[in-house]
Amino acid sequence: MAALIAENFRFLSLFFKSKDVMIFNGLVALGTVGSEELFSVVAFHCPCSPARNYIYGLAAIGVPALALFLIGVIWNNHTWNLVAECHKRGTKNFSAAATFLLFGSIMGRASVAPITWSVISLLRGEAYICALSEFVKPSSLDKFPAENAAEVLAKFPCRDVPANLTKFRDEVTRRLRYESQLFGWLLIGIVAVLIFLTKCLKHCCSPLSYRQEAYWAQYRSNEDKLFRRTAEVHSRILAAKNVKQFFGFVALDKEEKELVQEFPVEGVQPSPQWNAITGVYIYRENKGFPLYSRLHKWAKGVEGNGPTPEGHELLFLAS
């Protein structure tokens, strides 16, 4: 268990340092593979009991995949931008294409970990064998004893069978492992084709050139980095001023004293400004000039969320 926690913490540290979508997806997949391997070794124990095998086997594949999917949705910034957008402005400014694009982006990013978990589980085969061993037809096995067939077959994943049934256990295990791995490879192929088609569609429908799209990605990354860093400093200085006003003094270290002297904070941003830079943003242009984010749009003094006579909306969402 300690190894599982340590691996997940290492994975999370890499995750939060990642800025590229492909790196992000790769880290998610690698973290999921490691977690699934540890889960199979530490936590997976087939009950080898009729009616329980099926539920346990499917739960071992489906429940972690569902949990990973929900975590992916929660960690996606687009999710909370959408919540803020619906809360503050509603979805009246969204076209059907924009809404589909947004949900597709959220679902696609959140599906990386659960699909990886499902694929690894199917390729390993333990959960599939546990779930379906009792459903193998006894008639498909040559000279298999028909008495209590379901109970005997349910014990095959645990290898707890009489010596005279060992050859049947090996055959059932081999057959089910083949089916499980076949489904795993098919899932990999389907996902690969979908990713290829999605990437082609994205680049074909993108209103931006390749270089401008790369610039937009760099801008978003730098804006987010600088905004978080500045917000951290701003909030620390504001907190220092309020603490000093309450106690009459504030205990600052050398670095914090330099920050207070270098960056005087006069007040806080009003709620309308926070609302203006919060929410879903779809690439727009105003009078032919690109607006790369809600903060960029606010800084340029462009009002409204939808297309205007002077502006042009292009349905292209950041990855």
Does residue 278 lie in a domain region? yes
Give pLDDT, residue 236: 92
Amino acid in position 318? A
> Same structural domain for residues 74 and 151?
yes
Q: What is the pTM of this model?
A: 0.70
Question: Is 316 part of a structural domain of the chain?
Answer: no
Same structural domain, 78 and 152 = yes
Tell whether 264 is covered by a domain: yes
Q: Tell me, yes or no, whether 10 lies in a domain.
A: no
- Statement to judge: residues 64 and 158 lie in one domain: yes
Residue 278 sits in the same domain as residue 145: no
What residues have CB less than 8 Å from 12, skipping those under 6 apart?
A: 31
Give per-residue pLDDT as tens, 275-318. Answer: 888 877 878 888 888 899 989 999 988 865 544 433 344 444 54
Indicate if 76 and 220 belong to the same structural domain.
no
232-260: pLDDT as tens digits: 999 999 999 999 999 999 999 999 899 88
Whether residues 56 and 179 share a domain: the answer is yes
* Tokens of residue 78, six digits: 């687009």
Name which of 286, 306, 283, 276 is nearest 92 in CA terms: 306
Distance between CA atoms of 289 and 277, rounded to whole angstroms?
19
Check whether residue 52 and residue 194 sit in a common domain: yes
Residue 80 lies in a domain: yes
160 & 268 share domain: no
Q: Verify that 97 and 170 share a domain, yes or no.
A: yes
- Residue 77: predicted pLDDT: 81
Q: Looking at 183, 205, 227, which one is the last position of a domain?
A: 205
Residues 197 and 217 in one domain: no
Rounded to whole angstroms, the Cα distance separating 104 from 84 reads 18
Look at the chain and report how many structural domains it folds into.
2
Quote the domain boundaries for residue 140: 40-205
What is the separation of C-alpha 290 from the centre of its chain, rounded to a whole number of angstroms?
A: 29
Of the three residues 205, 224, 247, the one that is the final residue of a domain is: 205
Looking at 190, 205, 220, which one is the last position of a domain? 205
> Is residue 220 domain-shared with residue 197, that is, in the same domain?
no
For residue 307, the 8-state DSSP code is -
Paired tokens of 105: 């982006």
Residue 96's pLDDT is what? 67
Residue 138 lies in a domain: yes
Q: What are phi and psi of 234, to 5 degrees?
A: -60, -45
Residue 73, domain member (yes or no): yes
Decide if 105 is inside a domain. yes
Low-confidence ranges of the chain (pLDDT < 70): 1-42, 89-98, 146, 303-319
140-151: b (≥16 Cβ within 10 Å) or e: ebeebeeeebee
Domain co-membership, 67 together with 156: yes
